[in-house]
Amino acid sequence: MSNARVTILVPGRINSRVPERLKEHFDILAVPHGAELELSEAEAARVRGIAVSGALPRSWIARLPALEMVASFGVGYDGVDVAAAAERGIVVSNTPDVLNDEVADTAVALLINTIRRLPQAEAWLRQGRWPEEGPFPLTPLSLKGRHVGIHGLGRIGIEIARRLEPFKVRISYHTRRPRSDVGYTHFPTLAGLAEAVDTLISIVPNTPQTLKAINADVLKALGPDGVLINVGRGTTVDEAALIAALTDGTIAAAGLDVFEKEPHVPQALLDLPNVSVLPHVASASVPTRNAMADLVVDNLVSWFTTGRALTPVPETPQGARGPL
């Protein structure tokens, strides 16, 4: 059997490199990314793989009796109902590692922007305020001498930490279990980490355990000189508590690349002068997104030629099916 006869479902928008490369190996069914799966029963019966960016609900998986594998575009795959996939023995893959450097670079840049208010300083110059009003005001914060706590020392978290070492800051971290390969101080609780540090960088996935984990108590523990940076998932932060903390001086500043209900960002957050915001662009360079797209396709090609996925997520089985 030729793998050109395998049908891959592509719901909604995805990096254009994915369908371009998929066409070399598979038949493609492109459908809108809505609440309902707009396929006939005959079409649904043909689908053996999916390439998706974003949500893939249980109801869609249930409609696809021949589905074997889901290749998700992104290191985070919380939009895919992995429990529903696992129940059926369907493998889910993601795109780890290829975006680690880009996200880590962005996290450090966002930290510096937030502390030194560099976007506001550039706006001051561009608006002609320098000759009219004088130099941009001194920033109240500095990176020098800070104690940075990393919430999640996984693949990306460790890259952030390594980039921060030359800045001569202290580094600590919170994970469920301490790592044996680093010399940074481990804190068994997020609240304990926040109490010890003055800078908190969050890079954790969206799970029930991380949902609004950075709440009013954690922000209070971070303190009035505290800076919060979030490049993980917007759902990790209680945005209402964050807005209150930034408004009343509970913490000093925040830099955010992700938001609770993105692309919608609360106006109250945008109106605050001590916030630096980005529109979820941590991995958004052409080279990195191309590498992510290639890994999506390569996972599907590997599955349907060797019976093994390249980067399966741990929640779903890696039981090999026979090669074509």
Tens digits of residue pLDDT in 99-114: 999 999 999 999 999 9
**Mind telling me the catalytic residues?**
233, 262, 280
Task: Provide the 3-class DSSP secondary structure of residue 14.
Answer: coil
Other Cβ atoms within 10 Å of 183 Cβ, number: 6
**pLDDT higher than threshold 90 for residue 20:** yes
**Average confidence (pLDDT) over 184-197:** 98
Tokens of 73: 């575009």
Residue 73 has pLDDT above 50, yes or no: yes
Whether the CB-CB separation of 128 and 72 falls below 8 Å is answered with no
Query: Does residue 36 have a pLDDT over 90?
Result: no
pLDDT tens digits for range 233-275: 999 999 999 999 999 999 999 999 999 999 999 999 999 999 9
Average pLDDT (181-202) is 98
- Summarize the confidence of residues 308-321 as an average pLDDT: 81
| Structure-block tokens of residue 208 | 């029930």
Q: For 176-204, what is the mean pLDDT?
A: 97
Local confidence band at 35 (pLDDT 50, 70, 90 cut-offs)? confident
Residue 128 has pLDDT above 50, yes or no: yes
pLDDT at residue 318, rounded to an integer: 72
Quote the pLDDT of residue 316: 87
What integer pLDDT is reported at residue 206 of this predicted model? Answer: 92
Domain with CATH 3.40.50.720 in the chain: 3-98+286-306, 100-277
Q: Looking at the predicted structure, is the pLDDT value of residue 319 above 90?
A: no
Instruction: Determine the length of the chain.
Output: 324
The pLDDT-based confidence of 320 (bands split at 50, 70, 90) is very low
Tokens of 45: 């019966």
pLDDT at 192 over 70: yes
Residue-averaged pLDDT of the chain: 95
What's residue 1's pLDDT?
35
Residue 293: which of 4, 48, 65, 18 has the closest Cα? 18
Name the CATH topology of 100-277: Rossmann fold (3.40.50)
Instruction: Give the DSSP H/E element, type plus range, for residue 31.
Output: strand 27-31
The reported pLDDT for the residue numbered 3 is 43
Asked whether the beta carbons of 91 and 320 are under 8 A apart, the reply is: no
pLDDT at 324: 40
Amino acid at 157: G
Three-state DSSP at 9 gives strand
Mean pLDDT of 190-212: 97
Q: Domain 3-98+286-306 is in which class?
A: alpha beta
- The answer, yes or no, to whether residue 323 has pLDDT greater than 60, is no
Residue predicted with more confidence, 322 or 311:
311
Question: What is the average per-residue pLDDT within 69-75?
Answer: 96
**214, 151 contact by CB (below 8 A):** yes
DSSP label of 133:
H
Confidence class for position 48, pLDDT limits 50, 70, 90: very high
pLDDT level of residue 317 (50, 70, 90 thresholds): confident
Give the model's pLDDT for residue 322.
39
